[in-house]
Structure formats: structure tokens, C-alpha cells
Amino acid sequence: MMLKTTSIQSPKWIPPSREPRRNLSNVCLAIYHHHYHKSLVVKCSKMTVTPMISVNDGKLVVHGKTILTGVPDNVVLTPGSGRGLVTGAFVGATASNTKSLHVFPMGVLEGLRFMCCFRFKLWWMTQRMGTCGRDVPLETQFMLIESKESDVDRENSPIIYTVLLPLLEGQFRAVLQGNDKNEIEICLESGDTDVETDQGLHMVYMHAGTNPFEVINQAVKAVEKHMQTFVHREKKRLPSFLDWFGWCTWDAFYTDVTAEGVEEGLKSLSKGGTPPRFLIIDDGWQQIENKAKDVDCVVQEGAQFATRLTGIKENTKFRKSSQNDEHISGLKHLVDGAKQHHNVKNVYVWHALAGYWGGVKPAATGMEHYDTSLAYPVQSPGVLGNQPDIVMDSLAVHGLGLVHPKKVFNFYNELHAYLASCGVDGVKVDVQNIIETLGAGHGGRVSLTRSYHHALEASIARNFADNGCIACMCHNTDGLYSAKQTAIVRASDDFYPRDPASHTIHISSVAYNSLFLGEFMQPDWDMFHSLHPAAEYHAAARAIGGCPIYVSDKPGNHNFDLLQKMVLPDGSVLPAQLPGRPTRDSLFSDPARDGTSLLKIWNLNKCSGVVGVFNCQGAGWCKIEKKTRIHDTSPGTLTGSVRASDVDLITQVAGAEWLGETIVYAYRSGEVIRLPEGVSLPVTLKVLEFELFHFCPIHEIEPTISFAAIGLLDMFNTGGAVEQVDIHRTSNNKPEIFDGEVFSELTSSMSPNRAAATAIITLRVRGRGRFGVYSSQRPLKCVVGGTENDFNYDSETGLTTFYIPVPPEEMYRWSIEIQV
């Protein structure tokens, strides 16, 4: 029997905020006693924690606006630290008795718009919008609230965004939930009945400001500094496969994947001019129990969820015999062939965090030293209150073979070392959240999860030089707040090719989940099919999502016209720079259910911005039926608008001299429009339709000459092709001379005062195909890679187009000069 323990470890003095001395008397601080591990809470009717966040007479006030009322007396606020001092605070609470699970009311929320990300099932999050406490779902892990300052002139008061991040504290994990009294509650649990506490003083972190994306970013960084158990995405090394097109075997073969099938898939995609340069060999390659299927064992798409791993090497489907009948490594042969014959850059293979769906078989031959024992999952009440999962039905009956946490590094290291010896570059680690259900007897869910994640990341660092790991089925904060190294995270539930209800909610869920997940890792939007009724919809979203781009097509079932809008001839792609997230005016509307809102997703390229607009109405997760379902069989055509300011960070790529005007290129319509600052464009879409708007900052060269680089006009992420724009103004007005002669054909089409070039614009560009720029006057000359090119000029729109040839080598950067 384990001893009763407390969640508070190594108590520390919490310093007061550095605010004016006149406020210090009102600061309510939690003072820890170092000998008894108890907290002395100074209770007062007015509790000022920072100049911007306070509790006054039971009201939680942020920037002068009441967020919560009826805040209980046992709720404690503690000031944040460091750079977030004046805008951040921790929320805690105390109880009268020790338990392994507490529910603390935090206060009443009414009349304020919010959006949140919650786990609708054990593995995955999705979004929910609401206006009161009862709208907050179980297992809410991220919450953003919109409010206005209580100024006299409310019309001019800025919108204030407050983020709530439920955290890990010691051996406990916190989440938010609502109740019928419109209270927001903090649910604090350890996952082990022997791990108890009577308090949590840093259960939720609050941060507020006027820019929602900055608020979220600053909040997670403040928590990073406070917890020191995870690392922000911006500090992590991104694996190189993000630059390349990929293929995953899952939807092509499910668990029936073979070495021959992998070879066939690589050949099939390469023949169509879209060669995959990274490969994921998904579930189906491992050695697992080969026993008759139990009637109680649930099977979905070939995966037998209670089946256990029996060895770390590949199964017989991937092993071939040589002529003298000696076995050779089929996996190594397959990987070597993929790299040598198909120029695959990265090969990843699948495994579960516990080894396989049902873990590792206890005492399996050659695996006895892992001290595996059967464990039976116990799910959190919040998870049970949302959507049950068929995986858990099997494991509840058969149990899971859990490698002892002290031996799990040895397991990962031996598995990964073998894979690395076969030429494998990384792993897709799936079924991660199962570990949270197995914490009993191991110090609780947080302790066990952290042990497994630390071991996993240590093994990956040792065996895969490119930080080769994709985290999957992992949307719990136990893992997110323990990830110091993993840089890629699957951002939503799976792509389900045969489920019509899944496609629109897939796009919207990834976008909203990325508000939170994108602070920890680069979101992965999952595989998709290029030959599918919703293929273009999925492809367009991924093209601007800043994510890996890969398909799971069956060999021979491809839409190469579609793929060539994403994939260049060398197999590379044009990824956007950031995690794709909803625009500011999409944050609190519900584009899946409200029947009126379009979803707008913004991102940056190196020299421009992009906004993807999607009609996602008609389907979503239903809290009554507890599944994703179609709730509107004929959602209507919707109209919205876009503007340059939808790209939140566009000023960062526009340059210091930018005056606010943009050229807008609408991908599907092909329209090119000069858009003044602050002006919007309408967009009308049916369900499962989209449009991509590329906002290209205009460079004012002279009062009558302006220029903007657009990009590859036939690629979804048009502006992703442009990596650099340099403008060199000329200093003379003499006619430009080419081989001793004035270029009369061009000069005849220009006004008399444009006989000479005013500027030379140099572009650095990747890719091939139809390239476009905007010029307010017809250019004099266009040179691509040192060769003068013909071009077309549309005097009505200013669109100048020319063709870029196939690059001479992989990842080639063209130098393009345009004289204006």
C-alpha cells in the first residue's frame, strides 16, 4: 500500500507582484509552511493580485471587467512571475479534507462569449463556444473569454481576451467544467486513490490582454517558466520531413500492410509526378500475439485493441528469406530500397506509447526484462461523461501489458535502436493517453505519464538525430505539459474517409485546437485521400495549415491534378510558417453549428499572408448522442468577408515602410484586387467549399509605381513560393540598354517618363509553374535564373505572369529579377 502523499512538493515563498506600494496591503498571498506542507491563506474582502486581475467582494475582475461572480472564499489568487507579472495570475483553492479528486467551484460565468477546447473522448479535443458556465464541457483544457473594459465610453474600449489554462500541480491534473448553476468548476485529480491533497494553489493560470494570439502565447510561456516541465514550440527542433510530401500506409492498407504494398505505393505516387519523400509505415508491421480473435475483443479497421506486442522486430510480412534460407531484416531491406530507389528522405514507423494497443505481453520471450504486468484502465469521470471509446471496452476486459516505468526507457531504447539500425528516421507514437488511465500504484496519472514521456524523449534523442517523433492520440495536458522535446502533434481526431460527418468538423477542430496545441508543438492535420469527394477541401486546409502534408491513398487511387497543387516536382512542398489558427473574428462564433458563420484560418508565408475561408457547417460532436453526427443535412450558402488585418502578424512580413495596402489573390476565382487598408472583400461559399485569399503587401517604389510579389498561381499556398523580396531603386533616368540597343518593344508601351528602369526587384523563389506579381505599370524586363523571360501583363489588374521552369535540383531557389 502506498503512503498518502500531497500534491505540493518543495514549497516555495510566492513573491508579491511589483506593483505600487499602496496596493501591497491588498495582495492575498499563499504562504507555505516548510515543515507542515500546509498553506496559510490570508483572506480579505478585497484581494488585489495584479493591477489588472483582482478579486473584489466575490467578483473576479480582469482589466476592470467582471469575469466571474460569486467567487468562493476558499479560492486563492497568486500573482504570476517574470514578464507576465502585471497581466497574469494563478488560481488555487483549499478544501477541508484530503482526497484524490476535488471539484472546486471557481465562480459564476454569465453573459460573456468564450471558446474552449475540451476532450470529447479520451484521445482528442474539439471546440465548443458558449456564453455561460453551463456551456463549459467536461474535460476543458483551454478557455478563452472575450470581454470589454468597463469604461464610460464603451464603444472605444478595447476588447479584452482572458485565457484560462488548467495546469498540472505536483501529482495532480486540473481541468475546467461547468455546472447547472453557471459556475465554472476546477476538477483536480491524481488518478490514484492513494495520492491525495487538500489544496491546489496553482491549478489554473489566467492571462489577459488585447491581442488574443499574444495573450495565449504569453500565457503558455509564463506557465513554461513556472512549471519548467515542458518547452514551448518556438524553442524546439522541427523534423525536416515538414518540407517534403509524404505517404502513410494506414488508410491504404490498415493492418494488412506488407513490404510489397509499401513498394507499390511509393511507385504509384512517383509515376504521377508527386514523389513522396517521407514515408510512415503505420500499424501492421510489428510482432503481436497471433491468437484467435476473442468475441469480447473489439476490432476496427483491422486493429485488435487488446492485442499485445511480443517482440520489437518486424513481423513475417516484412521479412524475406535469402537463397540459402537465412533470414535477413526485411524492414532494413524495405527502408534501404525506399531511400535508394525512390529517394525517400525520411521513414517513420508506428508504435503505441505502451508498445501496442494492448501493451506488451507479460513475460514474452526476449522481453522478460521489461517487468511487464497486466493493468486495468480506470478512466477519469470527465472522460466517462463525454464519449465512450471502443478501445477501452476491450482493455477493461483483457487488461493492458504495462512495462514497468523504471524499465520503459530500456524498452524504448532497444526498440528505437533496432529501428535506427534498419535506417528508420523516426516514430509515430500513438495511443498516448492510455497511460493516464493506469496511474494507480504508480503515483498517479501525472507521475506515470511523465515517466513514460521522459523515457520516450530520451530514447528519441539518442536514436533519431532529427528529433523524429509524431505524437498522436495525445490531447491530454498530462503529456503536453511534460513534453520538452517532441515537436509534432496530431491536432484532431482522424481523417475518416467513409464518414460524411467527419470532414467539416475535422477542419474546424484542427484550427481551434491549434490555438492551444500550437504553443507546444507544430500541429499535424493528419493524412487524407487525394481521390475523395472532400479531397480538395482537405488539401486546401493543409496547404495553409503550416503542417506536414501527406496522403494515405491506395496505390493507383490518386488525383494527381490535385496533388500537383501542393507538391513540387522534387517532392517538396510549400508549407506556411505558423500553425494555422482561426482569425480574430472567428474565435467565438461556431462555424460547425450556428448556421451563419464561415471559418477563417490565417497564416503567414515569408513575404505575405494567407486567409483560408471554409464552410464547415452541418456536423459536429453531439453532447446528447456523444458522437460526431450530421445535424443539418442541407446547410445553407453563407457569406462573409476578409481583410488584410485578418492575418494577425502581416506587419511582420510587410516591412517598416508598408502603408497598409495589399494585393489580394483569390486562388479559386483567380481574381487579383488592389485592396486599400481597412477595406474588406465579400466571400460566399456552400458547405464543403473554400477560398484561399493571399494578401501580398504593396511596396510603394515611386508615387506612380507600386509592386507586390504574389507567387505560384496554381499552387494552393501561392505565396509560399516567395522567400525574399529586395527592391533596388536606380539612380539615373537613362534608357535601359540591352546589347547596345534600346529595348524598343517595351519602351513603346510605356509613358515617356518611363524610358528607364526605376527599380530592380529581386525575388528569391522556390518551385515551378505559372508565377505572378503585381505591378502598377508594365515591367520593362523579367529575368529568371539569368535568362530573360517572356511575360504577360494585364493593365486592368496589374497582374504580370510568366513561367518558371522545372528547377535543376532539389530545393532549388530561383533568382528572379523584374525591372520596373
Q: What is the rounded radius of gyration, in angstroms, for the C-alpha atoms of the chain?
A: 28
Distance CA 666, CA 696 (A): 11
Beta bridge partners of 59: 56
Which pLDDT score, from 0 to 100, does residue 319 have? 84
Distance CA 85, CA 791 (A): 56
Lowest mean pLDDT among 189-198, 223-232, 755-764: 755-764
- Determine contact, residues 36/229, Cβ cutoff 8 Å: no
Cell of 48: 488585489
Cell of 131: 456564453
Q: Does the pLDDT value for residue 747 go beyond 50? A: no
- Determine contact, residues 405/453, Cβ cutoff 8 Å: no
State the CB neighbour count (10 A cutoff) for residue 809.
6
Burial class (CB in 10 A: 0-12, 13-18, 19+), 797: middle
What pLDDT, in 10s, does the model give residues 527-574?
999 999 999 999 999 999 999 999 999 999 999 999 999 999 999 999
Which pLDDT score, from 0 to 100, does residue 298 have? 54
What pLDDT, in 10s, does the model give residues 110-139?
999 999 999 999 999 999 999 999 999 999
State the CB neighbour count (10 A cutoff) for residue 64.
14
What pLDDT, in 10s, does the model give residues 402-430?
999 999 999 999 999 999 999 999 999 99
Which pLDDT score, from 0 to 100, does residue 224 have? 98
For the sheet with 699-702, list strands across it.
699-702, 705-712, 769-775, 799-804, 792-793
Q: Which residues touch 368 (CB under 8 Å, ≥6 apart)?
A: none
Cell of 203: 491549478
Q: Crossing angle for the helix pair 445-463 and 408-421, nearest 10 degrees? A: 30
State the CB neighbour count (10 A cutoff) for residue 737.
10
Which pLDDT score, from 0 to 100, does residue 151 have? 52
What are the domain boundaries of the chain?
21-226, 619-819
State the CB neighbour count (10 A cutoff) for residue 792.
11
Beta bridge partners of 674: 663
Distance CA 706, CA 575 (A): 27
* Three-state DSSP class for residue 793: strand
Distance CA 648, CA 799 (A): 26
* Beta strands 400-402; 373-375: pairing state: antiparallel
**Averaged confidence pLDDT in the chain:** 90
Cell of 184: 465554472
Distance CA 140, CA 572 (A): 37
Cell of 240: 525536416
Which pLDDT score, from 0 to 100, does residue 154 have? 60
φ, ψ dihedrals at 610, nearest 5°: -140, 140
Q: Does the pLDDT value for residue 659 go beyond 90? A: yes
What pLDDT, in 10s, does the model give residues 770-783?
999 999 999 999 99
* Three-state DSSP class for residue 458: helix
Beta bridge partners of 727: 761
Which pLDDT score, from 0 to 100, does residue 390 have? 85
Q: Does the pLDDT value for residue 759 go beyond 80? A: yes
What pLDDT, in 10s, does the model give residues 586-597?
999 999 999 999
Distance CA 464, CA 633 (A): 47
Distance CA 247, CA 113 (A): 40
* Dihedral (CA of 348, 350, 354, 359) sign: negative
Residue 100's alpha-carbon distances to 184, 196, 350, 476, 655, in angstroms, are: 20, 4, 34, 18, 54
Q: Provide, rounded to the nearest whole percent, the portion of the chain with pLDDT above 90.
A: 83
Distance CA 137, CA 234 (A): 30
Tell me, what DSSP letter sits at residue 387? -
Which amino acid makes up residue 694? H
Q: Does the pLDDT value for residue 27 go beyond 80? A: no
Distance CA 163, CA 437 (A): 28
Give per-residue burial for 151-185: e unless 16+ CB within 10 Å, then b: eeeeeebeebbbbbbbbbbbbbbbbbbbeeebbbb
Beta bridge partners of 766: 813
pLDDT: which is higher, 284 or 47? 284
Q: 263: alpha, beta or left, given left = phi > 0 and alpha = psi -120 to 50?
A: alpha
Distance CA 722, CA 483 (A): 33
